[in-house]
Structure 1
Amino acid sequence: MRQALTTLDTETRGRELVEITRMVAAWVARSGIETGLLTVFCKHTSASLTIQENAAPEVRRDIVDWLDRIAPEDGGWNHDDEGPDDMPAHLKSILTGISLTIPVASGRPTLGTWQGIYLVEHRTRPHVRQVVLHLFGE
């Protein structure tokens, strides 16, 4: 068994879903590991990860809008150290999660036809987010 580890830096423009599928798949292919298990981990508490449809851009917009309704900025939160989007961002990260586990076969993540891997930015201003990839296999 072998292991590979890297960190991807991803720029965001504010609240959005940023597709990172190609970057992840390219790294998996370069690793030389054909069969294994990939962990994708977001190193932040106000951003998260999800696997979601990658065909219709409206899906991404609807997800951002839904998360805003679930955890609105005007929710009367106590924690607002970095502004009104601070606590809602933490709550949205809880809902969507900060790690994914994806099987790898034939040197590729085994995603479905319409699935993509997304970094979900929950803050209103741009950030550079770090996503750690760990692949274990042979």
Structure 2
Amino acid sequence: MRQSITTIGIASHGRGMIEITAQVCDWVRDTGMATGLLTVFCRHTSASLVIQENAAPEVRHDIVDWLDRIAPETARYRHDDEGADDMPAHLKSVLTGVSLSIPVHGGQPMLGAWQGLYLVEHRVRPHRREVVLHLIGE
């Protein structure tokens, strides 16, 4: 059994979903491990990770719009230290999560035909985000 770990940096352009599938798959391939378990972990409380459809861009826009309706900036929150989008970003992160576990087989994450990995940026302004990739396998 072996393991490998790395951190990838992702620049967001503000609220939205950024596909990271290719970066993750390339790294898994480069580890040389054929079978294992991949953990993808977002190191932030106002961004998150999801596995979602990667064929129709409308899906990404609808998800972001839905999250905005669930946790609107116009609501009254006690925590608003960094602006109106601060607490809604934390709530959206709670809903979507910061960690994913994905089986690896044949040197690739076992994603479905229409699945992609996304970092979801919940803040309005651009940020530099870090995602940790950890693979244990052989």
Q: Which residue of 1 aligns with 2:35?
A: 35
The one-letter amino acid of 1:109's match is: P
CA-to-partner distance for each residue in 1:55-90, whole Å, 9 max, x for gaps? 000000000000000000011011010000000000
Q: Determine helix, strand or coil for the equivalent of 1:13.
A: coil
Cα offset for 1:126? 0.3
Distance in 2, matches of 1:15 and 1:64, equals: 8
The one-letter amino acid of 2:115's match is: Q
Cα offset for 1:42? 0.1
Distance in 2, matches of 1:75 and 1:108, equals: 42
TM-score w.r.t. the length of structure 2 is 1.00
Q: Determine helix, strand or coil for the equivalent of 1:40.
A: strand
Q: Determine helix, strand or coil for the equivalent of 1:84.
A: coil
Q: Which residue of 2 aligns with 1:130?
A: 130
Cα offset for 1:17? 0.3
**Does residue 18 in structure 1 map to residue 18 in structure 2?**
yes
Q: Which residue of 2 aligns with 1:112?
A: 112
Q: Which residue of 2 aligns with 1:68?
A: 68
Cα offset for 1:119? 0.2
Q: Determine helix, strand or coil for the equivalent of 2:116.
A: strand
Over the aligned positions, Cα root-mean-square deviation in angstroms equals 0.3
The one-letter amino acid of 1:86's match is: D
Q: Which residue of 1 aligns with 2:44?
A: 44
Cα offset for 1:102? 0.2
Distance in 2, matches of 1:40 and 1:75, equals: 31
Cα offset for 1:11? 0.5
Gaps of 5+ in 1: none
Distance in 2, matches of 1:65 and 1:28, equals: 32
Q: Which residue of 2 aligns with 1:87?
A: 87
TM-score w.r.t. the length of structure 1 is 1.00
Gaps of 5+ in 2: none
